[in-house]
Copies of this chain bind each other. A is one copy, B any other.
Amino acid sequence: MSEIREEALVEPLEKFLGYQLRRVSAASMAHLANALSAQNLSPTLGTVLLMIEANPGATQARIGRALAMQRANIAPLIARLEHDGLIARKVSDGRSFGLACTPKGEALGQSVRRTMADHEAELYSALTQNEQEQLLDLLIKMRRSVTAAS
């Protein structure tokens, strides 16, 4: 009946917001990555896909800025989405392209949105509706100040 339980260690960073944020975020990311693996997408790829879907015609530099990603890092992701036939590029500038989802990309986007919604519902059900809204508001407030500081 009584299992052997390891005595818990002291957590010196317990009161640090950054530490708790990191721990929860890491767990959430792992959970989401697992959920999205069925669609053969990483969390980042899924996010970029949805971002393009919601902003047809945007260039990859703009998408990257909105997601706080460097141009150098988003390039291979765009190439991958295009290679998979999920997005298409239309010349907009002599140097840039307007991105948009293909029908295949929109279909997958729909599925990704469902997966993410399920993931959220499952993971965040430990919090009440009220707490979820509180947490969301606090995070958004944090992001505004953090983004402004950069």
Contacts and interface: CB of A to CB of B under 8 A. Distances in A.
Interface in A3-46: 6, 8-29, 31-32, 43
Contacts of A149: 123
Nearest to A66: B9
A143 interface: yes
A91 interface: no
Contact of A16 (B11, B21, B116): B116
Given A6-B62, A50-B12, A120-B18, A27 B141 contact: no
A146 B123 contact: yes
Nearest to A140: B20
Interface of A: 6, 8-29, 31-32, 43, 47, 50-51, 53-55, 58, 62-63, 65-66, 68, 113, 116, 119-120, 123-127, 131-132, 134-136, 138-147, 149-150
The 6 A-B pairs of least Cβ separation, nearest first, read: A126-B145, A25-B25, A20-B139, A12-B54, A27-B146, A10-B54
